[in-house]
Amino acid sequence: MSEERVEREDQAIMLALEMGAGKATAPAARGTGDEAVETMVRLYTEALGMMPHALDPIAPSAGLKGRLMLAAAGDETQEVKSSLVQRSMTAALQVPPPPATKSRQRPPTQPVASPASITRQASRWPLRLAATLAVGLLGLSGWLAWQVQEQNGEIARLRTEARQAKEAGQELVRMREAMRSLEGNVALASSASVLVCPLRTAVGAPSGLSTVGMRAVLYVATDHQHWFFTARGLKESPKGQDYQLWFVANGRPVSGGTFSLKPGEVAHLSSATMPAGTTAVSVTLEHQGGSVLPAGPQVLYGDQMQQVL
Amino acid sequence: MDPSTPQLSRALADAALVQRIADRRPEALSDLYDRYSPMLLALANRILGGQAEAEDVVQETLLQVWHKASSYDPARSSVSTWLVLLARSRSIDRLRTRKVGERTATAAHAETPRTHTSPRGPDDVLSRERQERVQRELEALPAEQRQVLELAFYGGLTQAEIAEQTGTPLGTVKTRTLLAMKKLRAALREEIRELL
């Protein structure tokens, strides 16, 4: 291959690459005047034009075709309208002169347009009107389909938002209740003459259920009825088991409720009633849901009620 | 239809379709849309990296075809390539309005976005064969040659811009581009012949 041909081919490649690369008009589009180069530009342009065929085709959204046809139909209607206006103006300019003038300008022997040709001209109007209406209807149907799709999408979005708002409302109610309970417990724990009973790891408790920083306390109000229990640092409750709080009153255990924990969680239990004669508090590990009487291993125990304020 | 030359027949059918569009036949525009919009959408999406904007490009491109069908010159390119160039031009125009950094990220280095394959008609068996063939030939190019080709075609970058962006000497970029184009043209000789 001659050097000159190589140079021409290289030139053709660069021209092909420039074609369609934005608004700049490529020189090839204007013609190089060199037929051989232009032929090569064509071949390389076609090679480049093949590149997008390697991409996975993408299905357009359902409304795209409708929008396109609507836009095209809208333009067509505009063109027909302007054509009609132009024809009307032309017709107005070609209005024949009054009969008296006409009789002077046109001899009586001049042929007059036949009724058939007048009918043919007149008959084109309904066809054009029908064509315009058909195009308009096509566009309108596309537009309506697009509208329906848009509205369905909007309805789905609103439903999702409504569901999320409802869930957020329910969460807010739960949080308010938790806040109220917490406020009550804090008021109890900080009230004057509150009794405090610290719980410690029980003798013989299974190893590994409490951490080094474990802290459990029972707060009892002065009425000896309202109480609030909190435990921090207890390990996650084993699978299928719950922790259960017991009040030891008159030598008999009375359940104060159960709780389960996940890693890092703090236990909170509270109530407005407490067995009379409570002298000690204990936490045992029971089967899930709790037991009527303590059956599992004792984890925490406390019997030192103190008044700290 | 001659079954031995289905692509050739398709090229002729495309040209006839454009002629009917030039005659203001909306159904011809509808047919052209059905035939090419998935490929044009993939192209615009590859350049712009977003389907919504890519759909705008496809709509504008086909609307331009609706208005300018009579300007189509079959001696310059096949209908398929004409549409590709129109869509590419519009996409790159949009790309150039963005910041340089954003363009680089979107056009040159972003992975091809996840796509949805459109429903395939009987004609599309041929399209799929062509897709596989072009994919194979592009993948056969050395990585550095394919990179400059994609930066030039999908990124709309000049040789100098590619050299700057990749930190490669300009002469090397040109050599890689020329080699890639020559290999691609040779590999796709049959497909190109069918379009002419």
Q: Model pTM?
A: 0.51
Helices (H), A190-244: none
Q: Which whole-number Å values give the CA distances from B134 to A53, A89, B109, B188, in the listed order?
A: 7, 56, 21, 7
CA distance A41 to chain B (A): 9
Nearest residue of B to residue A40, measured between CA atoms: B185
Q: What is the pLDDT of residue A168?
A: 92
CA distance B1 to chain A (A): 24
d(CA B17, CA B31): 8
pLDDT tens digits along A121-174: 556 788 888 999 999 999 999 999 999 999 999 999 999 999 999 999 999 999
State the pLDDT confidence band at B55, using cuts at 50, 70 and 90: very high
Chunk chain A into consecutive blocks of 10 residues (it has 309) and report each block's average pLDDT, rounded to whole numbers: 79 83 46 74 90 91 89 66 46 42 42 50 78 92 92 92 92 89 81 88 80 84 89 88 93 92 88 90 93 92 83
Chain A residues touching B131 at Cβ < 8 A: 53-57
Mutant choice from A68, A80, A82, A132 vs B, greatest count of B C-beta within 10 A? A68
pLDDT tens digits along B109-132: 444 444 445 445 556 677 788 888
Predicted ipTM? Answer: 0.84
Residue B3 has pLDDT above 50, yes or no: no
